[in-house]
Amino acid sequence: MKNKTLCAWLCFLTGPLGLHRFYLRGPGDLIGWLLPIPTGLGLYGVVRFAQLGLNDPWSWVLVPMLGFTIAGCALTAIVYGLMSPEQWNKKFNPKAEVGAAQGDTGWLTIGAVVLSLFVGATALMASLAYGFQGYFEHQVEAARKISQ
């Protein structure tokens, strides 16, 4: 029996590592195994940024990967948290009754949804801003080289 509240919190807290996918679909889930790749690349971009500064072109490519992964997992937590109990039980608890308690939405579920909305939107906007800033600064620098 898969619990909706636990799944929403797993999406929010450990989503970029794919643990919510393993909870719902088991250890054979391919996406669950692939999710740590963009997370790791994004963390590598953060390390490069800390070491090399803002002028590192790879960091403005890699860092947004982490933000997009966090935002995507936060969106997944929102979708799962707002899913009706009937839909949840039909999809993830097919042997249970339609109105089983595992699909109920409580205050803990709403807390995961609210925090996911806040953190996911922040991560998405920060990733877009950082990525576009690096890209446009690179374009301006290339234009300066051409004009000289």
Task: Give the pTM.
Answer: 0.87
Q: Are 47 and 60 in contact (CB under 8 A)?
A: no
Q: Are 48 and 55 in contact (CB under 8 A)?
A: no
The domain tally of the chain equals: 1
Q: Which long-range contacts (CB under 8 A, 24 or more apart) does 110-117 make?
A: 110/81, 112/5, 112/8, 112/9, 112/11, 112/12, 112/77, 112/81, 113/8, 113/77, 113/78, 113/81, 113/82, 115/12, 116/8, 116/11, 116/12, 116/74, 116/75, 116/77, 116/78, 116/81, 117/74, 117/78
Question: Which residues form the domain of 118?
Answer: 4-147
Per-residue pLDDT of the chain (148 residues; tens, 9 = 90+): 899 999 999 999 999 999 999 999 999 999 999 999 999 999 999 999 999 987 788 888 899 999 999 999 999 999 999 999 889 988 998 888 877 777 788 899 999 999 999 999 999 999 999 888 888 888 888 889 898 8
pLDDT at 80: 95
How large is the angle between the packed helices 107-147 and 4-14, nearest 10 degrees?
Answer: 30
Query: Dihedrals φ, ψ of 86, to 5°?
Result: -65, -45
| DSSP at 57 | T
Q: Are 81 and 87 in contact (CB under 8 A)?
A: no
pLDDT at 135: 85
Sign of the torsion angle spanned by Cα atoms 114, 23, 79, 38: positive
